[in-house]
Amino acid sequence: MSDSQATSAAQDVILYDDSLLSVRDLDAGYGDLQILTDVDLDVNDEEYVTIVGPNGAGKSTVMKSVFGLTSHMGGTVKFGDKDITAMRPEDIIHLGLGYVPQNDNVFSSLSVRENLEMGAYILDEVPQDALNEVFDRFPILEERQTQKAGTLSGGQQQMLAMGRALMLDPDLLLLDEPSAGLAPDLVADMFDRIDAINDAGTAVLMVEQNAKEALRRCDRGYVLVDGKNRYEDEGTTLLNDPQVRQDFLGG
C-alpha cells in the first residue's frame, strides 16, 4: 500500500488521496428514498474499475449519483481537484467525465453522425479529430453515418452511445451495463472495445451484470450490496474469492 492510500476500518475499502474520481460516504437516492449509504469508491488515472452486485443493489444509482442525476443526501464526489457533489450533468461533462446510460442512450430520429456531433454540443465546432477517432474505433458508425440511429442494432447503438461520449475525449467514462441486451457472440467484442478505450488512456468505471467477465478484465472491482460497499479488491482477486464466487458470481 502506498503512502497515498489508507484503509477504511469500517469496510476494509482502500481510500486513495490522489484518485481521479473519489466518492466518500455517499448517501443518495430518488426524491426522499435513500438507496446508497456511506458508499466509498475511487477510480485512479487510466484505471478500469467495475461495480458488480445483485439486482437492485444500487450500482446504477452510484453512476447516476456521480453524474448528478440523483437526490444527494450526504457525502462527497470529487473529480480531479473539483468537488462535483450534486453538480449538474451539463456542468460535469465540461470537466472531462462522460456517462453512457443503460437505456435511451441515442437519439433515435437523428442520424449516426448527428448523434456524434451532439456529443460535442458544448464546443463551438465539431472536433474533427475526435470524430475521426470514433470512426476509427467503430468503423460501422462511419459506414452508417447517414442512417437514423433508431435503425441500428442494439450493439451498434451501444457503440454509438460510447462514441458520442468519446467525442469530448473524457478522462473518465462511466459505462452502465454496456453488454446489456447484446447477443452472446457480441458481448466479448464489446468488452474488447472497452479494453481498447481504456488501453488508450481513458479511465473506465463500469457497472455490469456480466460480473465474471467484467472482473476478469478490470483492474479493480467493488461488490455493492443493499446500497453499501461489501468488497473491494483487484478484479481477479474478487473473481477467485470463494465467498464472492458463492454469494455473487453463481458459484
Is residue 30 at the binding interface for ligand ATP, with CB under 6 A as the rule?
Answer: yes
Backbone φ and ψ for 144, nearest 5 degrees, come out as: -105, 25
- Cβ contact 131:167 at 8 Å: yes
Is residue 39 at the binding interface for ligand ATP, with CB under 6 A as the rule?
Answer: no
Tell me the window of 28-36, 122-130, 194-202, 229-237 that interacts with ligand ATP (CB under 6 A). 28-36
Tell me the window of 30-38, 103-111, 166-174, 186-194 that interacts with ligand ATP (CB under 6 A). 30-38
Is residue 58 at the binding interface for ligand ATP, with CB under 6 A as the rule?
Answer: yes
For residue 242, how many other CB atoms are within 10 A of its CB? Answer: 8
Residue 204 Cβ, how far from ligand ATP at the closest point, in Å?
A: 17
| Distance separating alpha carbons of residues 243 and 247, to the nearest angstrom | 6
Binding mask 157-196 for ligand ATP (x = CB under 6 A): ----------------------------------------
Dihedral (Cα; 154, 59, 192, 203), 10-degree rounding: 120
Is residue 56 at the binding interface for ligand ATP, with CB under 6 A as the rule?
Answer: yes
Is residue 1 at the binding interface for ligand ATP, with CB under 6 A as the rule?
Answer: no
In single-letter form, the type of residue at position 3 comes to D
The CA-CA-CA angle for residues 187, 192, 196, to 5°, reads 150
Using the minimum distance from each CB to ligand ATP, give the nearer residue, 57 or 175.
Answer: 57
207 to 246, contacts with ligand ATP by CB under 6 A?
A: 209
First to last CA, the chain: 30
Binding-site size for ligand ATP (CB under 6 A) equals 12
Residue 173 Cβ, how far from ligand ATP at the closest point, in Å?
A: 17
Is residue 146 at the binding interface for ligand ATP, with CB under 6 A as the rule?
Answer: no
Is residue 61 at the binding interface for ligand ATP, with CB under 6 A as the rule?
Answer: yes
Tell me the window of 53-61, 75-83, 112-120, 238-246 that interacts with ligand ATP (CB under 6 A). 53-61
Using the minimum distance from each CB to ligand ATP, give the nearer residue, 57 or 66.
Answer: 57
Is residue 60 at the binding interface for ligand ATP, with CB under 6 A as the rule?
Answer: yes
With CB under 6 A as the contact rule, the residue among 20, 57, 160, 175 that binds ligand ATP is 57
Where do contacts with ligand ATP occur on this chain (CB under 6 A)?
A: 30, 33, 35, 53, 55-61, 209
